[in-house]
Structure 1
Amino acid sequence: MTVGVTHLLDGTPTGITIRAGLPRMSFGSTIAHESLHVWIHQHRIPPLAPPVEEGLCQLAADEWLRRQSDPRAGLLRRAIATSPDPVYGAGFRAARDALGGRRVGELLRYVGRYGVLP
């Protein structure tokens, strides 16, 4: 079920749509996810394979959830980490593994330069 979409016009972000009525933790993690899509396009990162881009965006959602004190954040983090989806779930796990000891900014610079996860 799609809960968020980043709108592009000729590769330029023009807006984000989020499904109405989401609980706070779901809304916040969706905004974090979609905001990274916007960042990727604003920085003119060359097209990425779907598991790389969605995995990075799920990493942003997970990072946002990690900083929340709400116990539901942990449930959502587990759902992201264990998702069987080959794009979102496997992509997240690959991005998380690539993060290693790096900061997220370092990982994004690497992907922006080489178009793949390290």
Structure 2
Amino acid sequence: AGHNRHIEGIELCSGLDSLHAAQVLAHEFMHTWLWMQDFPVLSPWLEEGLCELGSFLYLLELLHDPQTSCLALNAEVLRQRLRAIEVNARPPYGNGFRGCASALRGRGLHDVLQYVRAHGSLPPQ
């Protein structure tokens, strides 16, 4: 606690389609939320994994409840994006996501986040 992190803005690359932009923003908003909730400084693996998990859960919600979004959605494209997160080979992102998704099994997201905030690590399996 007391790490004095702050957010001045979130930048988004131009040229992204609306779904990709929403996916990136979900990831970046998760970083922002973690910092604003005064989580401890997390390892890159854990922080990026949590942010990828947030992005994944957002896309999953769009797939299962598309009327919650103003985006023009294509279920096949959503499935492709979800799969890309699941198989991402970039270590802090893919491995982090898979670790965080595994920690979510049998637990609620709130429980996982509460544990991470208190301990700076994922709950034991």
TM-score range, shorter chain: 0.7 to 0.9
- Residue 39 of structure 2 is aligned to residue 34 of structure 1: no
Structure with the bigger RCO (C-alpha within 8 Å, sep 6+) is 2
For structure 2, the 5+ residue unaligned runs are: 64-73
Query: Which residue number corresponds to residue 18 of structure 2?
Result: 24
Q: Secondary structure at the match of 2:9?
A: strand
1:101 positional shift: 2.1
Deviation per CA, 1:59-108: give whole Å up to 9, x if none.
00100111224221110111110011111000000000001122212211
Identity of aligned residues (%): 35
2:66 is aligned to none
Larger % of strand: which?
1
TM-score (norm 2): 0.83
Alignment partners' CA distance in 1, 2:40 and 2:5: 10
| 1:54-65 mapped onto 2 (5 Å cutoff) | 54-65=48-59
Which consecutive segments of 4 or more residues in structure 1 shift more than 2 A? none
Q: State the superposition RMSD in angstroms.
A: 1.1
Q: Which moved more, 1:19-28 or 1:90-99?
A: 19-28
Residue 92 of structure 2: aligned partner: 87
* Larger radius of gyration between Structure 1 and Structure 2: 2
In the TM superposition, what are the counterparts of 1:1-118 in structure 2 within 5 Å?
A: 10-69=4-63, 70=74, 71-118=76-123
Query: What is the TM-score normalised by the length of structure 1?
Result: 0.87
- Higher helix proportion (structure 1 or 2): 2
